[in-house]
Homo-oligomer: A and B are copies of this chain.
């Protein structure tokens, strides 16, 4: 009989939390112990998301419920934070102290440099020790670190942002292997995201009539928080100081995310060589699909899955590569990747509950 792990979700009724809840409810090794929701405490999850009637009828509890924070290791194995930024860091140290694993889908545990975190997110932090032991949960790049750590310690995983995930999957093979051949200040990530990425909050600018039939950039030129998250990761993986431009855009669709990533080479290369690099790097990765020449990624292919679709283009005139990557922002960009991380933490097969 399958071993069952007990998990809870804080922030279960946002779009990310709800996607995660849906995945966990179908996962053969998981029992959901609680679903917390500040806004909908006291209501059944399936009242807010009627598509889950008969599937997830658990009543949402209050995020500040003492009962949750007082849970012990034998009652719960892992807590997911699908909460707004600035909340996880208050609760994670206490849970870790009780040997309860944590996976944080917010930004709280994505930065080793807490000053950088505070600069971009505003919150002051008291949990230096906990933060130091957090692992950045981009599985395709940190799988071994996660697996190794999971054998000996209680885990805190900082689940990457959606734009970041797509950009890393698109560019990291080059940064990892060819850092000496690129202009370290040349990277431009032009992101196109569905509206669900903005969350489920009642705001005029997210109304259907405002978003529909329009496309728009926002926070251009080093004003969006995913920029420093990307620079941190790319600098680490390349061993160089990477500085880049990140340009997010809103596209009128519910789910899906595309990044168009530009990188300038300083030495000659070819599209064929780059393609070979990616094929090798991702040969064993079941959630990465490299596309043959002239087939471009469509976000809808990724929707509802944990897949990333990647295309590689290179213009020899300009020595510039254009790498495009499409994912589901709520899946590989958030909840799907969190589940992938959870599977690793529990020593399960990485794709359980993700096919």
- Hey, which bits of chain A sit against chain B, CB under 8 A? 15, 26, 50-51, 53-54, 185, 188, 190, 192, 194-196, 200-204, 206-218, 220-222, 243-245, 247, 249, 251-256, 258, 260, 262, 286, 289, 291, 295-305, 307, 309, 311, 313-315, 317-318, 320-322, 324, 326, 355
Contacts and interface: CB of A to CB of B under 8 A. Distances in A.
Contact of A214 (B211, B253, B289): B253
Contacts of A188: 188, 262, 320
A307 B355 CA distance: 20
A252 to B, nearest CB: 5
Nearest to A193: B215
A318 B260 contact: no
A319 to B, nearest CB: 9
Q: Which has the most chain B C-beta neighbours within 10 Å: A185, A215, A289, A296? A: A215
Given A256-B214, A298-B50, A317 B15 contact: no
Given A204-B200, A209-B200, A253 B217 contact: no
A81 B75 CA distance: 51
A15 B209 contact: yes
A204 B15 CA distance: 12
Given A188-B188, A300-B51, A322-B221, A258 B206 contact: no
A315 B245 contact: yes
| Stoichiometry, copies per complex | 4
Contacts of A262: 188, 245, 262
B215 A258 contact: yes
Given A253-B252, A318-B185, A192 B220 contact: no
Contacts of A252: 208, 212, 251-253
A188 to B, nearest CB: 6
Given A50-B291, A216-B296, 19 more contacts: A26-B355, A51-B300, A192-B251, A195-B209, A196-B209, A200-B204, A202-B204, A206-B208, A207-B207, A213-B213, A213-B254, A214-B253, A217-B260, A217-B296, A217-B297, A217-B311, A220-B324, A221-B322, A222-B317
A224 to B, nearest CB: 11
B251 A251 contact: yes
Contacts of A253: 212-215, 252
Given A221-B313, A295-B50, A215 B251 contact: yes
Contacts of A255: 213
Given A51-B300, A207-B208, A295-B50, A256 B220 contact: no
Given A54-B289, A215-B192, A305-B51, A247 B221 contact: no
A7 B176 CA distance: 46
